[in-house]
Amino acid sequence: MKVSYRITAVLVLAVSAFVVLYTGSSYKSMYKDDVIVPGPSVKEVKMLSDYFEGLKDTAGDTEVYVLEGEEPGGTLLFLGGTHPNEPAGFMTAVLFIENAVVEKGRIIIIPQADKSGFTANDPQEASPQRFSFTTAGGNRRTFRYGARATNPLDQWPDPDIYVNPSNQTLSGSETRNLNRCYPGRPDGTLTEKIAYGIMEVIRKENALVSIDLHEASPEYPVINAMVAHEKSIDLASIAVLELELEGIKIRLEKSPPTFYGLSHRSWGDYSDTWPILMETANPSQGRLRSKTNEALVLTGKDPWYVKAQKLGKLYVPFDENGHPIEERVGRHSSSVQAIIRAMEYFFEPEQMITVSNVPGFDELMANGFGNYLNEPAK
């Protein structure tokens, strides 16, 4: 039987069109915003463009949640989602926004610092697009697992070599890495504008302490750690001691003076804030991981990492229990609260912050993360 080549042309194009529409709808679905249900202390939800107008109507504009107590006090800023493939930072931000009761002072939270990065996955990583939790009321809450850096659709092309705003020379792809772009440039790339916007939040809101929440591969040396600028190293030391008493082992590292462009360095160099960066162990972003899926993101269990631990290749303990999201968010949550408490040794009484009702490490490990998420609006 002889089939006309025009018919086969239509057939193969129909298959192509189906694949384009099917995969395209999957890619486009990443643009649907995550739902955050503000808790009792959220007084205002601003946008980053309120601080730096250059971000208005761009993919870099993102929500800034202001949690404020009845009594005036100091201001602390913290960021989740600097790297959207490090979900514990984002989830810790959500935990505070939905639960925290601030009695004194203000906590400003940017849960998705590089929001553009939440609209795509990293190529060739096979990362899941989303992960979900079940709330106490039985509802499902789903959040995006994004890419490490700004979506190339929003910022392209990458240069061969990137010279960041602090004059540090880096590989080209770092041009889209928010945590290499500080203090930002008001007339720079999208990522540099986001960095500049965050610096403006720090400066305009007079944030005494600023924290950047991250995760790292289990084979990365800086892990289960706080990295502190020389201004904030004593504050971080007190927090680490307190965490040690609670049974949470955390390493303290001093921010290297030449790590220009990173939050723990440049926030302190270019503003009055005291910066601290934190890392937990996330096997879903590691190089040695096995099957990459939602379960790995949530349970942190991975047989290949167990093997790597036995071979002495890791910087964190790793057994069959893995590093579940509850442990990673718990470490961040307890650490942020320990820093807030430690502020009393370094700032005036009228600059204190008092916060309650945020579950820490033990509560999250005992009850699960989903139990602390608010029910979504009908």
Partner 1 sequence: MIWLTWSYWLICLGLLVALLLEVFREKNFWKQLSAAMVIIPLALRVLLWK
Footprint on this chain of partner 1 (rule: CB under 8 A)? 5-6, 8-9, 12-13, 15-16, 19-20, 23-24, 27-28, 120, 153, 156-157
In the complex, least distance from residue 243 CB atom to partner 1, rounded to whole angstroms: 42
Q: How far apart are CA 150 and CA 6, in angstroms?
A: 42
SS (H, E, C) 251-311: EEEECCCCCCCCHHHHHHHHCCCEEEEEECECHHHCCCCCCCCHHHHHHCCCHHHHHHHHC
Of 12 and 366, the one with the shorter C-beta distance to partner 1 is: 12
- In whole angstroms, the minimum distance from the beta carbon of 201 to partner 1 comes to 26
Cβ proximity to partner 1: between 6 and 378 the closer is: 6
Determine how many CB atoms are found less than 10 A away from the CB of residue 231: 18
* Backbone angle region of 33, left / alpha / beta, with phi > 0 → left and psi within -120 to 50 → alpha: beta
Task: State in angstroms the smallest separation of the CB of 13 from partner 1.
Answer: 6
Give the start-end residues of each E strand in 260-369: 274-279, 354-356
H/E element, 295: helix 294-299
Q: How many Cα atoms within 13 Å fall on the side-chain side of residue 283?
A: 34
Closer to partner 1 at the Cβ: 156 or 345? 156
Cα–Cα distance for residue pair 358/94, rounded to 1 Å? 11
- Report the nearest approach of partner 1 to the CB of residue 27 (Å): 5
- Residue where the block lists tokens 């290499």: 180
> Nearest-5° angle of CA 244, CA 245, CA 250?
10
| Nearest-approach distance from CB 15 to partner 1, in angstroms | 7
Query: Is the CB of residue 161 less than 8 Å from the CB of residue 173?
Result: no
DSSP 352: -
Would you say 25 or 167 has its CB closer to partner 1?
A: 25
What is the closest distance, in whole angstroms, from the C-beta atom of residue 23 to partner 1 in the complex? Answer: 7
> By C-beta, is 15 or 377 nearer to partner 1?
15
Nearer to partner 1, 5 or 378 (CB): 5
User: In this structure, are residues 316 and 300 in contact, taking their beta carbons and an 8 Å threshold?
Assistant: no
Quick one: CA dihedral 92, 97, 98, 104, positive or negative? Answer: positive
Smallest gap, in angstroms, from Cβ of residue 11 to partner 1?
Answer: 9
Q: 63 or 125: whose CB is closer to partner 1?
A: 125
